[in-house]
Structure 1
Amino acid sequence: MPAVGPPHWWRSGPPWWRQEERARWPWRSTALVTAFVLIGSNYAAKGQAGERVDLDLFARVLLLVAGLLLLWRHRHPVAVAFGTAGAVMVYLGAGYPYGPVFLTVAISCFSAIVAGHRRAAWSALGALWAGHVLVAHWFYQWLPPSGDSAAAWGQEGAIAAWVLAVVALSELVRTRREQWAKEQAERAQAARRRADEERLRIARELHDVLAHSISVINVQAGVGLALLDSDPEQARTALTTIKAQSKEALGEVRQVLDTLRAPGDAPRAPAPGLDRLPELVDQAAQAGLTVDVHGSPPPLPPGTDLAAFRIVQEALTNVVRHSGSRHARVHLDREGGTLRIRVDDDGPATGADAGGSGNGLAGMRERAAALGGTIEAGPRADGGFRVLTVLPLTAKEDDR
């Protein structure tokens, strides 16, 4: 069931800032803000005629500079925050009308906070507010317009509230943006982890299928070569076994590879399980290994059934390849909520990697661990080799 959370547009981050970041220069937004500031300041000047200094060329240059600085707000957010605050401070100190010029400072400090330069943005806003307090309450006597009086302290409170609102909104957006980036990184990491797990699963499947089949084919090929002249009929039987085993291996490999081509499709054939244990016994017999099976498996979940089958298959393959014994025993026991699978041979071990110390044993351990089970493998005290597997009957499957 999907998790309930904030709307997608809010969790994913406002799309407009992602578009702005992809563009090298935010021409459109800067042009709109600059035009708004210039036009709005003209209207503000008419409304404050006689109270503030009329707009002149220097005032319009300051407004234009404060607006155009926003072009660099993504590349140099700290410099732009202080630059716009400085331009607005000069504008106010010259006695020009209050108006939308404050918008340039709000946007530049917003960009700086979202980019992570919080202290710089706070400092720029604080400096602008402190400078306005000095101009409006102490330096107004020496600055234009002439005959101006001190500003009301309530006005300073309103400006302080405006500054706090800009900071609060910027911090909220910055937090949401970091949360979005973190979620994106977690999703990418989860996707990589799922891909790695799928590659390991396919590698284990291919190893188990090919190792077992090629071991049987290798033994039968040796038998066929040895009996080709002296007993052609027996050699024919060995070649028939090779053909059947190779066909079965190709079918299973094709089934595994089909999951790569169409991972959402259902497999064409059911995954093997312990119900195919008699087939393993017959294949082992064709390779010259006699296998005695004791006990019967209980009903198992598909994942556990496949893992149990592959573990027994790999254990018998290791006996064929690495043991001098031609006899093996498979014991299936249910103990409480677990299935115990024990595969024994009488040895002696042959070869440097006797017992299956390579990828096969590692693959068996990975299969068992993925289901919450364990595997113990090693020489027995009385000789031979033992693989003991314990699998829970209610498997702990990974969430996909």
Structure 2
Amino acid sequence: MTRTAGVAWAGGALYLLTVVLLVGVAPQASGTVHGAGALLAASLLVGVVRRRPSAALAMAVVGSTAVVLGPPSPVGDDLSAAYQGQFLGFVAVDMVLGFIVATCPRGHAGVAVGASLAVQFLVIGGFTHGDAVAVNLLIALLAAVASCMAGLLSRERREHAAALRSQEVAEAVTAERLRIARELHDMVAHSIGVIAIQAGVGSRVILTQPAQAREALSVIEATSRETLSGLRRTLVSLRRTDRGESAAQESPLSPPSGLADVERLAAATADAGVSVEVRRTGRRCHVPPDVDLSAYRIVQEALTNVVRHAGTRRCHVSIDYADTELLVEIVDDGRGTTGDDPVHGFGIIGMRERVGLLHGRLSVGPRPEGGFRVAARLPLPAPAEAAAATR
């Protein structure tokens, strides 16, 4: 038995001892004194109530009944008046009932309420006469109902809070799953597209043009290493999160991608057969890491769609740094479709999710003059906020 359990049961024993003292030491005291004393002594049952509610209820019922039965019975017309105050002890029983209704299973609580009310009605009915019987029984019933209602309200609030916590956890898990899905899709789709194209080129020219085949294999090797590095960084981040470490404690194998890597991404896309022209306008400013990564992923996914679906040899990427927003636009002169649907992929869906999380705007669709256009407007913080973030 732990120390806490010992203290709880010691409190229960002290409660019963107090009831015995009230009945035995001062038998001639008024019923109100006995009832109030038993009610105050019920505070000693707090430890038992928290550990064993049924045992606490039994102790409270025994103690309150003993206060009524213990003193010598008065004689004459003073019978009802003498027992009026001694029924105060049953208020402690009602308090324990409220706790049981709030915390215990409903069936267990129903049995406790029925048994407690039966004992109270028998004792009150047996020791009250005349018109006071109905009044005392009604008061006892109302007190029990009030305690049970308070317990029900407490139970509902606790269940509602638990439901909210479960919903928050489920939403957090869903958001994390979507984030991981976006990162893996954006990271892997582009690299796999480049690898597939270079592998096809290498297989066609390996006998007739060995130099070009070696170049294709070199591109495949470099792209594969980069993809493995990104996957390893993602896995390290997930493992650190599982151990409860924050993102600031991470030591990634390579820094996260951003707009500074767009030229390198354009070179990799050129190796896949699509020439990319990158144009930057506006005054370079601080871009928050989440905006920087999202803009890079949007460019990466758009170039992946150009390589896989556009059927063109060139496209244009423009990055405009405005005062309040970052504009990223990818335009090609291909077939004007991306093949991006639930059957073919989730690239555009991931773009919309990224832009939506940053409270930006995304425009995706074919151009009237031919080709396809992806344009994302991502809000930027005010200069003062950016300076604070940089510090």
Per the shorter chain, which TM-score range? 0.5 to 0.7
Do 1:86 and 1:128's aligned partners in 2 also have CA atoms closer than 8 Å? no
- Alpha-carbon RMSD across the aligned residues, in angstroms, is 5.0
Do 1:44 and 1:99's aligned partners in 2 also have CA atoms closer than 8 Å? no
How far has the Cα of 1:127 moved from its partner? 11
Do 1:40 and 1:100's aligned partners in 2 also have CA atoms closer than 8 Å? no
SS in 2 for 1:340: strand
Residue identity opposite 1:258 in structure 2: V
| 131-140 vs 245-254, which moves further | 131-140
Do 2:201 and 2:213's aligned partners in 1 also have CA atoms closer than 8 Å? yes
**Residue of structure 2 equivalent to 1:48:** 27
**Residue of structure 2 equivalent to 1:59:** none
How far has the Cα of 1:363 moved from its partner? 0.8
Do 1:224 and 1:239's aligned partners in 2 also have CA atoms closer than 8 Å? yes
SS in 2 for 1:390: strand
How far has the Cα of 1:351 moved from its partner? 8.1
| 38-47 vs 227-236, which moves further | 38-47
Distance 2:268 2:218 in 1: 12
Residue 195 in structure 1 maps to residue 170 in structure 2:
no
Residue identity opposite 2:239 in structure 1: R
Deviations along 1:85-105, one digit per CA (max 9) or x if unpaired, are 997899599949848963762
SS in 2 for 1:262: helix
| Equivalent in 320, 325, 329 of residue 342 of structure 1 | 329
How far has the Cα of 1:342 moved from its partner? 1.4
Q: TM (normalized to structure 2)?
A: 0.67
Distance 1:189 1:343 in 2: 38
Do 2:336 and 2:367's aligned partners in 1 also have CA atoms closer than 8 Å? no
**Residue of structure 2 equivalent to 1:216:** 194
**Residue of structure 2 equivalent to 1:382:** 369
**Residue of structure 2 equivalent to 1:332:** 319
Residue 235 in structure 1 maps to residue 213 in structure 2:
yes
| Equivalent in 297, 301, 307 of residue 314 of structure 1 | 301
**Residue of structure 2 equivalent to 1:281:** 266
1:126-145 paired onto structure 2 within 5 Å: 132=124, 136=128, 138=130
> Which runs of 5 or more residues in structure 1 are unaligned?
1-18, 21-26, 53-69, 144-152
Deviations along 1:202-242, one digit per CA (max 9) or x if unpaired, are 21111111100011111111111111111101111111111
Residue 204 in structure 1 maps to residue 182 in structure 2:
yes
Do 2:301 and 2:347's aligned partners in 1 also have CA atoms closer than 8 Å? yes
| Equivalent in 362, 366, 380 of residue 393 of structure 1 | 380
Distance 1:47 1:280 in 2: 93
Residue identity opposite 2:368 in structure 1: A
Q: Structure 2 vs 1, CA of residues 350 and 112 (structure 1 numbering), >3 Å: closer, same or farther?
A: closer
Distance 1:342 1:277 in 2: 12
Residue identity opposite 2:189 in structure 1: A
Residue identity opposite 2:366 in structure 1: P
| 124-133 vs 272-281, which moves further | 124-133
SS in 1 for 2:189: helix
SS in 1 for 2:273: coil
1:68-107 paired onto structure 2 within 5 Å: 91=69, 95=73, 98=86, 102=90, 105-107=93-95
Instruction: Considering fraction of residues, name the structure with more helix.
Output: 2
Residue identity opposite 1:224 in structure 2: G
| Equivalent in 180, 204, 207 of residue 226 of structure 1 | 204
How far has the Cα of 1:74 moved from its partner? 6.1
**Residue of structure 1 equivalent to 2:278:** 293
**Residue of structure 1 equivalent to 2:310:** 323
Residue identity opposite 2:279 in structure 1: H
| 328-337 vs 304-313, which moves further | 328-337
Distance 1:347 1:356 in 2: 21
Distance 1:257 1:171 in 2: 51
Q: Structure 2 vs 1, CA of residues 257 and 362 (structure 1 numbering), >3 Å: closer, same or farther?
A: same
**Residue of structure 2 equivalent to 1:6:** none
Q: Structure 2 vs 1, CA of residues 266 and 351 (structure 1 numbering), >3 Å: closer, same or farther?
A: closer
- State the identity %: 34
How far has the Cα of 1:353 moved from its partner? 4.5
Distance 1:325 1:346 in 2: 7
Q: Structure 2 vs 1, CA of residues 74 and 343 (structure 1 numbering), >3 Å: closer, same or farther?
A: same
Distance 1:275 1:346 in 2: 25
Do 1:209 and 1:252's aligned partners in 2 also have CA atoms closer than 8 Å? yes
Deviations along 1:334-389, one digit per CA (max 9) or x if unpaired, are 45512221111111257855899621111111111111112221111111111111
Do 2:340 and 2:347's aligned partners in 1 also have CA atoms closer than 8 Å? no
**Residue of structure 2 equivalent to 1:266:** 250
Q: Structure 2 vs 1, CA of residues 107 and 41 (structure 1 numbering), >3 Å: closer, same or farther?
A: farther
Residue 253 in structure 1 maps to residue 231 in structure 2:
yes
Count of residues in Structure 1 that have an aligned counterpart in Structure 2: 335
**Residue of structure 1 equivalent to 2:359:** 372
Q: Structure 2 vs 1, CA of residues 100 and 353 (structure 1 numbering), >3 Å: closer, same or farther?
A: closer
How far has the Cα of 1:193 moved from its partner? 2.3
| Equivalent in 101, 105, 111 of residue 99 of structure 2 | 111
